[in-house]
């Protein structure tokens, strides 16, 4: 499905309001992965409304592609499942990424961003964050702005807590609200199955439900689990399965009780671990190897407890120009 840009005034200033930059390329395409959180330890709400996290991200091989093409104004189009649920105006995180980069470099953000979506929309797999990171890398290459890695990471952090990880990929511990990253060593490949649910879940709503469920309790400061980091380092899927955790899972299940049946179906099919991906509603299943992942995927498809099923490996690199 292709959607035209939303009605309304263009997000860009008049084309001659600021100088145009250019790398000489007509278009740049960037591929960017989804993420799963193998540990999502959530602290109490901070005065700014965010929660301190110990967030262990793994980039997984489900990808969106963002193409930036020279244009007079900033406009966005998108293709793929559920793109009718993403905004195509200046509120789209990818448009905001282009706008922030252009503003820092004093140029007009003239660009057509096309998002080819494959990451589930509002699924707890950082699809919107991925598009923002990809748009940033694509515009930097298209406009020849030559932003440093540090500057790109700064803009990413301004855009959202998960956006810096979409840029770097691999495996990382996110602290603060998730934006302060430390790369983590990993050994080997982990095999995953993802069950895509009907409809999305709002991340703020899931955090609000977390607050409601934990009201009056003393929430400890979030910390990465040493056993989990060791399992990642050695590439031991069984050890990783024994240590995965997601503090947002009770909140996601409270808002979407039907996810319990999906988790159960994956477990019954032989998944080593079953968990909600981030704030959900996508559920993630860790398998022992590729064959086991395919078996779990088949069983989940037949279970009737989810809309679609995807198999993917991790870790994979972050946003990259194709």
Q: Which residues are catalytic?
A: 35, 162
256 contributes a contact to ligand C5P by CB under 6 A: no
Task: Work out whether 64 is an interface residue with ligand C5P (CB under 6 A).
Answer: no
Q: Within the chain, where are the H helices? A: 93-104, 127-143, 149-159, 163-168, 203-213, 226-234, 237-243, 249-255, 259-268, 290-303
How many whole angstroms separate alpha carbon 100 and alpha carbon 111?
13
The verdict on 207 binding ligand C5P (CB under 6 A) reads yes
Q: Do you find a cis peptide bond into 207, omega within 30 degrees of 0? A: no
Look-up: residue for tokens 């950082």? 126
Q: Which stretch binds ligand C5P (CB under 6 A): 25-33, 200-208, 213-221, 257-265?
A: 200-208
| Sole binder of ligand C5P in the list 64, 140, 162, 247 (CB under 6 A) | 162
- Contact pick of 178, 222, 266, 280 for ligand C5P (by CB under 6 A): 178
Whose tokens are 């086991």? That residue is 292
> Shortest gap between Cβ of 157 and ligand C5P (angstroms)?
9
Q: In terms of Cα–Cα distance, which of 187, 235, 221, 171 is closest to 35?
A: 171
Distance, C-alpha 40 to centroid of its chain: 14
**Closer Cβ to ligand C5P, 67 or 166, answer by number:** 166
Peptide bond between residue 291 and the one before it cis (omega within 30 degrees of 0): no
Q: β-pairing, 74-79 with 111-116?
A: parallel
What's the min distance (Å) between Cβ of 290 and ligand C5P? 32
CA distances from 190 to 59, 131, 193, 235, 314 (A): 11, 24, 10, 7, 5
Under rule CB under 6 A, residue 96 binds ligand C5P:
no
Closer to ligand C5P by Cβ: residue 159 or 297: 159
Query: Residue 232 — φ and ψ, nearest 5°?
Result: -65, -45
131 binds ligand C5P (CB under 6 A): no
Cβ atoms within 10 Å, residue 129: 27
Q: Which one of the spans 49-57, 58-66, 131-139, 287-295 is the region binding ligand C5P (CB under 6 A)?
A: 49-57
Please give the residues from 286 up to 305 whose contact with ligand C5P meets the rule CB under 6 A.
none
Please provide the size of the chain in residues. 322
> Would you say 49 or 199 has its CB closer to ligand C5P?
49
Nearer to ligand C5P, 50 or 77 (CB): 50
- Return the number of the residue (207 or 285) whose C-beta is nearest ligand C5P: 207
Among 160, 200, 280, 281, binds ligand C5P (CB under 6 A): 160
80 lies in the binding site for ligand C5P (CB under 6 A): no
Token couple for 109: 């953000």
Closest contact distance (angstroms) between CB of 51 and ligand C5P is: 4
| Binds ligand C5P (CB under 6 A): choice among 10, 13, 22, 50 | 50
Cα–Cα distance between 107 and 101 in angstroms, integer? 9
Q: Segment contacting ligand C5P (CB under 6 A): 44-52, 81-89, 181-189, 299-307?
A: 44-52
Residue numbers at the binding site for ligand C5P (CB under 6 A):
49-51, 53, 160-162, 177-178, 203-204, 207
């Amino acid at each position: 499905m292709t959607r035209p840009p939303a009605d309304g005034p263009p997000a860009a200033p008049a084309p001659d309001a600021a100088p145009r930059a250019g790398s000489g390329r007509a278009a740049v395409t960037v591929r960017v992965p989804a993420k799963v959180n193998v540990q999502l330890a959530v602290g109490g709400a901070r005065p700014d409304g965010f929660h301190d996290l110990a967030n262990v991200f793994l980039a997984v091989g489900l990808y969106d592609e963002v193409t930036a093409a020279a244009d007079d104004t900033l406009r966005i189009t998108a293709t793929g499942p559920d793109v009718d649920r993403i905004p195509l105006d200046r509120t789209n995180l990818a448009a905001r990424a282009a706008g922030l980069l252009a503003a820092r470099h004093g140029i007009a953000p003239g660009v057509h961003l096309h998002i080819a979506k494959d990451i589930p929309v509002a699924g707890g797999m950082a699809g919107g964050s991925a598009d923002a990171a990809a748009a940033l890398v694509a515009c930097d290459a298209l406009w020849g702005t030559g932003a440093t890695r540090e500057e790109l990471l700064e803009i990413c952090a301004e855009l959202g807590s998960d956006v810096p990880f979409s840029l770097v990929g691999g495996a990382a511990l996110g602290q603060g609200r998730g934006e302060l990253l430390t790369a983590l060593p990993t050994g080997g490949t982990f095999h995953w199955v993802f069950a895509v649910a009907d409809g999305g879940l709002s991340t703020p709503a899931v955090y609000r439900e977390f607050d409601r469920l934990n009201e009056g309790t003393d929430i400890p400061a979030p910390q990465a689990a040493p056993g989990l980091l060791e399992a990642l380092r050695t590439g031991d899927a069984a050890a990783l399965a024994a240590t995965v955790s997601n503090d947002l899972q009770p909140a996601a299940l409270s808002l979407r009780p039907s996810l319990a049946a999906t988790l159960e179906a994956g477990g019954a099919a032989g998944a080593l671990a079953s968990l909600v991906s981030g704030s959900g509603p996508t559920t993630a299943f860790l398998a022992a190897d590729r064959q086991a992942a395919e078996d779990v995927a088949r069983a989940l498809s037949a279970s009737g407890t989810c809309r679609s099923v995807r198999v993917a490996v991790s870790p994979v690199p972050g946003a990259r120009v194709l």
